[in-house]
Amino acid sequence: MKNVVAETRRKTNPLYNDRKLKLGTFSTNLGGGCAITSIEGTLKADWPSTLALARMADEMEFEALVPVGRWRGFGGVTNFNGPGFEAFSWAAGIGASTKYSSVFATSHVPTIHPIMAAKQCTTIDHITGGRFTLNIVTGWHRPEIEMFGIPLLEHDKRYDMAAEWIEIIKRLWTEDEEFDYDGKFYQIKEGYLQPKPIQKPHPVIMNAGGSKKGQHFAAKYCDVVFLVFDPSDFEGAKRQVESYRKLAREEYGRELQVWTATYAVQGETEKEAKDYFDYYVHQKGDWVAATNLVETMGLNSQTLPAETLREMKIHFMAGWGGYPLIGTSEQVVAGLETVSRMGFDGALISWPRYIEDMRWFQENTLPLVKQAGLR
């Protein structure tokens, strides 16, 4: 059955192609992208900029364009990720403007009703000819959830709510008969959706569950999982990837793709790249915004050593805590090879000066990625 599903999606969604390491972009719908810095040239929240990045990724046949669901920023001099585009309407516009990449929408479960979400996803799947992917998030940024006049639920209850949410959506996507649903969080009377999505049995679903509860949710309901790991622990990362796959296979009889995030800091020489990193992070990093982000995520500064907390903030300022790819084109490719050897199916990449640096990657690094056999 799983091979049949993969073959069905392979016809329209590039996430199911045969490339050794799939690539994508992350947070191109938000001001600042992934770099919490005040340097000139960071991503602006305007349509020409986000469209340019999408078309560049499409030209390179990147498999994934993943927006971040964000409703308010993190303060500081940059108000990092404050300005930005809503993910579903962004995906519709980007999907109509591209030809190859899978276009994601990131949806906070508590902010949108499952009938609305199912309809929006279906619409975008038709706009893109079957290239849509839904990224489910349960919400962690309390101030933006409370903007909606709703409480931020306790962690495990968020996933209980998400389970009902996606069960309803999947039924709407796949069942022709109307149905009722009586859950703890949702009650549906004569649920109905037409037309159905192009992708069969339904659009691809992604989640970044990191906790035990989150991992079980992703293994049961999702097709792609997003994993963050310690960049200094190669063997630990390999174990995390395999553990996720094993959980899905043994407990739910399912196969998962496992993806992660990286950030590229490129230079003609290693020194040039490291100097660039020092400039946009150490000299121009927005420490206030990074501190607000880390504290809002619940990373308890009271229990972490000061140096550990400082390194964590640096990691977020550099590229949202992704795996660092710092150096020449050859060194960036070597880093991507390492990610592949860890067992990841795909890597999202961000750049500090998103448009300028991504274009440099396209011209100088992508040919080497192909030579290395990753593409």
Those residues whose C-beta lies under 8 Å from the C-beta of residue 176, and which sit 6 or more positions away, are none
Q: What mean pLDDT is predicted for residues 38-44?
A: 97
Specify the pTM: 0.94
Q: Is the dihedral of CA 268, 274, 279, 285 positive or negative?
A: positive
Asked whether 335 and 273 are in contact (CB, 8 A), the reply is no
- The yes-or-no verdict on residue 1 having pLDDT over 50 is no
Question: What residue ranges define each of the domains in the chain, with the CATH number in brackets?
Answer: 2-371 (3.20.20.30)
Q: Which pLDDT tens digit goes with each residue over 53-101?
A: 999 999 999 999 999 999 999 999 999 999 999 999 999 999 999 999 9
Cα(76)–Cα(16) distance, integer angstroms: 40
Those residues whose C-beta lies under 8 Å from the C-beta of residue 330, and which sit 6 or more positions away, are 368
Q: Which pLDDT tens digit goes with each residue over 319-355?
A: 999 999 999 999 999 999 999 999 999 999 999 999 9
Return the amino acid letter for 222: C
Task: Out of 133-137, 151-155, 237-241, pick the least confident.
Answer: 151-155
Cα(159)–Cα(100) distance, integer angstroms: 32
For 173, the token pair is 């996507």
Q: What mean pLDDT is predicted for residues 217-237?
A: 94
Asked whether 50 and 87 are in contact (CB, 8 A), the reply is no
Q: What mean pLDDT is predicted for residues 262-279?
A: 98
- The yes-or-no verdict on residue 31 having pLDDT over 70 is yes
Asked whether 181 and 165 are in contact (CB, 8 A), the reply is no
Asked whether 22 and 64 are in contact (CB, 8 A), the reply is yes
- Strand 179-182 relative to strand 187-191, pairing: antiparallel
For 302, the token pair is 């009271």
Task: For 230-278, give the DSSP string.
Answer: -TT-HHHHHHHHHHHHHHHHHHH----EEEEEEEEEE-SSHHHHHHHHI
Q: Which pLDDT tens digit goes with each residue over 139-190?
A: 787 888 888 888 888 889 999 999 999 999 999 999 999 999 999 999 999 9
Those residues whose C-beta lies under 8 Å from the C-beta of residue 139, and which sit 6 or more positions away, are 108, 109, 110, 111, 145, 152, 158
Cα(30)–Cα(67) distance, integer angstroms: 8
Mean of all residue pLDDT scores within the chain: 94
- The yes-or-no verdict on residue 298 having pLDDT over 70 is no
Q: What mean pLDDT is predicted for residues 284-288?
A: 97
Cα(359)–Cα(361) distance, integer angstroms: 5
